[in-house]
């Protein structure tokens, strides 16, 4: 019988398992990881678009507020005297009238107000000086869909029907999403003499990043001492060009004209009347409040929605906001040329959250994949082990059956041969006849030993009666009956004992242990035929050892030789007769007696097989 130390990969079932379970499993894990990545990217994008939509709405509302103001003031201009403007609408700052190149103010306005107003708009209104006027770069580029400059938008009867704000926003954002269109638009605008400036903020979300500017994904609270991260430049879609008041009023009947100066944003409303131009500066405080009111749901768990003014300051300020870097919104959009440099934006309450979410999804999927893999690996190992054990057991049982058959056949053949010789009466030499009979007896002895082994093996669950015994006596007895045969085949046999060694046990069973050990010593001896049996007391243990000078046991299999059906595959032992039961029976009997059987290599070559039994203290023979 072969030693069952085959690699598990020699079993086809293992390869089937690898092909059917392990490889698809690994592929699945990789797919799961990749789709988790993609999924978290989609989730991130969805989140960004949702916030972008909110920001778009906020920008649209702010723009609507400005259109509303323009329209209301247009109404007031038509019906009210400039002296009554302020009481008609709180957004009115300093009203004026321009007639024949002269500016006049209602009596109610203070000197300081007038000075302020004249400083901002005096030269522009009176003497044809120019001021920057603002427009959207996409609208300049797509001159086809909107006529005239936004700031002059008004009820010009000749103007075609204006597109709705939403349509305009959509067209603009579609253009803005295309970096090629944008760079073309910018170059067209600059060739038409427009001035291009940088945006006030740098959004951190991928979606709203303008084309080339790489944005550090760093968040710094604006109210701490730490300086803000450098804000990468993005170009503002609001571009400016200097124009005179005459130019501005030539295209429309009324409108708003924003002006950026070191004092911040001021806005002029103007309307053409018969022979004169009336208008007012806007009360920016009131305008800001109107815009702040129009922003939908400023604070949620996730984000802060706000509008930044020309200085990058939020127009809604609240103690409840977390520490935010206003210059680094998550997503942001410029509002419109009516509010140059103003931005609507969304800031994350926890800026790390999307990254954490993405990482969490990845980690969760990785853990799942790892768990799946571990389960698969464990399953694989179990299957492989079960297969190995089963296959080995099956092979050993087949070999056992073959061995038993062989072991029965050989002595039977000899017995038949010798008995037929005797029966034929041809052999008259008495000494030869006795030889034949001895041979028959020896074969019968081998047969009964084998039958004994098989019987003992099949009865291994049963208990036998125990009685006080002397181990030395049993050893002498067994040796006495086997010695002649051993000596006949050239063995020198020796025995030593410590006198009576009392144990409790079953005489026949213990005799069988020794018989098996002696028979092995005989079978597995080579040229040096020497067997020594010793019986000793070691403290409270009785030790019976059988020592030979035979082939010994390979270190790798010294534990396996005690397994049932196991036979060494060494060519020497494979040549010997045997069914692989002797040592397993010996160990089984020893264990039933509360003892054990061990193997150890013998110094100078050979084996030592020892039976250890508890000394029987109650039987001090
Ligand atoms: P069997 O002798 O029928 O093969 P055993 O259970 O008695 O079965 O022994 C198991 C194996 O242990 C043997 O096949 C042999 O390889 C090894 N073995 C047992 N006794 C000895 C010994 N005295 N010297 C060397 N090898 C031995």
Q: What is the pLDDT of residues 132-183, one digit of tens each?
A: 999 888 878 776 434 433 333 444 444 444 555 666 666 666 666 677 888 8
User: Cα(616)–Cα(595) distance, rounded to whole angstroms?
Assistant: 12
pLDDT, residue 2, reads 42
For the stretch 518-553, pLDDT in tens is 999 999 998 999 999 999 999 999 999 999 999 999
Percent of the chain past pLDDT 70, that is, above it, reads 86
Retrieve residue 364's tokens.
Answer: 């969760």
Buried b / exposed e across 132-167, counting CB within 10 Å, b at 16+?
A: bbbbbbbbbbbeeebbbbbbbbbebeebeebeeeee
Retrieve residue 416's tokens.
Answer: 């038949």
User: Cα(610)–Cα(532) distance, rounded to whole angstroms?
Assistant: 12
- Torsion on CA atoms 279, 285, 290, 293, rounded to nearest 10: 180
Establish whether residue 400 lines the binding site of ligand 1, counting it when its CB lies within 6 angstroms of any ligand atom: no
According to CATH, where is 3.30.565.10 located in the chain? 461-614
> Which helix or strand (DSSP H or E) is residue 278 part of?
strand 276-282
Establish whether residue 573 lines the binding site of ligand 1, counting it when its CB lies within 6 angstroms of any ligand atom: yes
Question: Whose alpha carbon is nearest atom 12 of ligand 1?
Answer: 561
Ligand 1 atom closest to the Cα of residue 574 is 14
How many A from CA of 32 to the centre of ligand 1?
54
pLDDT, residue 428, reads 86
Establish whether residue 608 lines the binding site of ligand 1, counting it when its CB lies within 6 angstroms of any ligand atom: no
The distance from CA 326 to its chain's CA centroid, rounded to whole angstroms, is 35
| CATH fold group of domain 461-614 | Heat Shock Protein 90 (3.30.565)
CA distances from 445 to 195, 262, 436, 519, 584 (A): 118, 123, 14, 12, 21
For ligand 1, pick from 524, 556, 610 the residue to mutate: most ligand atoms within 8 Å of CB: 524
Question: Whose alpha carbon is nearest atom 16 of ligand 1?
Answer: 568
Q: Stretch 425-452: mean pLDDT, rounded?
A: 88
The distance from CA 16 to its chain's CA centroid, rounded to whole angstroms, is 27
Ligand 1 atom closest to the Cα of residue 403 is 3
Establish whether residue 561 lines the binding site of ligand 1, counting it when its CB lies within 6 angstroms of any ligand atom: yes
DSSP alpha helix (H) spans, 425-535: 430-458, 471-488, 507-523
How many A from CA of 436 to the centre of ligand 1?
29
**pLDDT > 70? residue 119:** yes
For the stretch 217-266, pLDDT in tens is 333 333 333 344 444 568 888 999 999 998 888 888 899 999 988 888 99
């Amino acid at each position: 019988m072969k030693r069952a130390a085959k690699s598990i990969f020699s079993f086809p079932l293992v390869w089937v398992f690898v092909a059917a379970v392990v490889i698809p499993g690994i592929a699945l894990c990789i797919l799961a990881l990749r789709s988790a990545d993609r999924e978290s990217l989609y989730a991130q994008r969805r989140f960004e678009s949702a916030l972008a939509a909110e920001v778009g709405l906020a920008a649209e509302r702010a723009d609507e507020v400005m259109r509303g103001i323009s329209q209301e003031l247009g109404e007031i201009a038509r019906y009210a005297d400039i002296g009554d403007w302020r009481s008609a609408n709180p957004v009115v700052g300093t009203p004026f009238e321009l007639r024949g190149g002269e500016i006049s103010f209602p009596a109610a306005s203070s000197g300081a107000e007038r000075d302020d107003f004249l400083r901002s708009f005096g030269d522009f209104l009176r003497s044809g000086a120019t001021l920057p006027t603002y427009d959207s770069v996409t609208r300049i580029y797509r001159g086809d869909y909107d006529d005239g400059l936004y700031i002059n938008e008004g009820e010009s009867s000749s103007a075609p029907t204006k597109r709705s704000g939403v349509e305009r926003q959509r067209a603009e954002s579609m253009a803005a999403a295309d970096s090629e269109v944008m760079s073309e638009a910018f170059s067209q605008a600059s060739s038409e003499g427009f001035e291009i400036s940088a945006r006030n903020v740098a959004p951190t979300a991928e979606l709203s990043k303008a084309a080339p500017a790489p944005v550090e994904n760093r968040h710094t609270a604006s109210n701490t001492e730490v300086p803000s991260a450098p804000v990468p430049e993005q170009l503002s879609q609001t571009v400016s060009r200097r124009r005179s008041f005459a130019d501005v009023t030539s295209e429309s009947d009324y409108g708003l004209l924003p002006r950026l100066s070191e004092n911040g944003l001021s806005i002029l409303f103007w309307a053409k009347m018969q022979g004169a131009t009336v208008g007012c500066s806007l009360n920016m405080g009131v305008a800001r409040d109107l815009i702040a009111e129009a922003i939908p749901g400023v604070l949620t768990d996730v984000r802060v929605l706000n509008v930044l003014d020309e200085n990058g300051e939020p127009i809604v300020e609240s103690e409840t906001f977390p520490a935010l870097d206003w210059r680094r919104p998550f997503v942001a959009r410029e509002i419109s040329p009516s509010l140059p440099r103003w931005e609507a934006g969304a800031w994350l309450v926890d800026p790390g959250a999307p990254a954490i979410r993405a990482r969490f999804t990845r980690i969760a999927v990785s853990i799942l994949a790892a768990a799946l893999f571990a389960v698969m690996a464990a399953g694989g190992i179990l299957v492989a082990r079960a297969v190995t054990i089963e296959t080995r057991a099956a092979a050993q049982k087949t070999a056992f059956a073959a061995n038993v058959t062989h072991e029965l056949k050989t002595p039977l053949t000899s017995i038949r041969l010798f008995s037929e010789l005797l029966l034929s009466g041809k052999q008259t030499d008495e000494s030869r006849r006795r030889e034949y009979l001895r041979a028959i007896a020896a074969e019968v002895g081998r047969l009964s030993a084998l039958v004994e082994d098989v019987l003992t093996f099949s009865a291994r669950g049963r208990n036998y009666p125990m009685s006080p015994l002397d181990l030395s006596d049993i050893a002498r007895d067994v040796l006495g009956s086997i010695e002649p045969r051993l000596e006949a085949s050239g063995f020198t046999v020796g025995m030593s004992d410590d006198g009576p060694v009392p144990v409790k046990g079953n005489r026949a069973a213990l005799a069988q242990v020794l018989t098996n050990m002696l028979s092995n010593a005989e079978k597995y001896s080579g040229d040096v035929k020497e067997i020594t049996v010793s019986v000793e007391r070691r403290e409270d243990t009785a030790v019976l050892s059988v020592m030979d000078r035979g082939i010994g046991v390979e270190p790798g299999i010294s534990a396996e030789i005690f397994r049932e059906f196991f036979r060494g595959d060494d060519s020497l032992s494979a040549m010997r007769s045997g069914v692989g039961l002797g040592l397993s029976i010996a160990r089984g009997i020893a264990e039933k007696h509360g003892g054990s059987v061990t193997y150890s290599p013998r110094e100078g070559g050979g084996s030592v097989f020892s039976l250890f039994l508890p000394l029987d203290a109650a039987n001090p023979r």
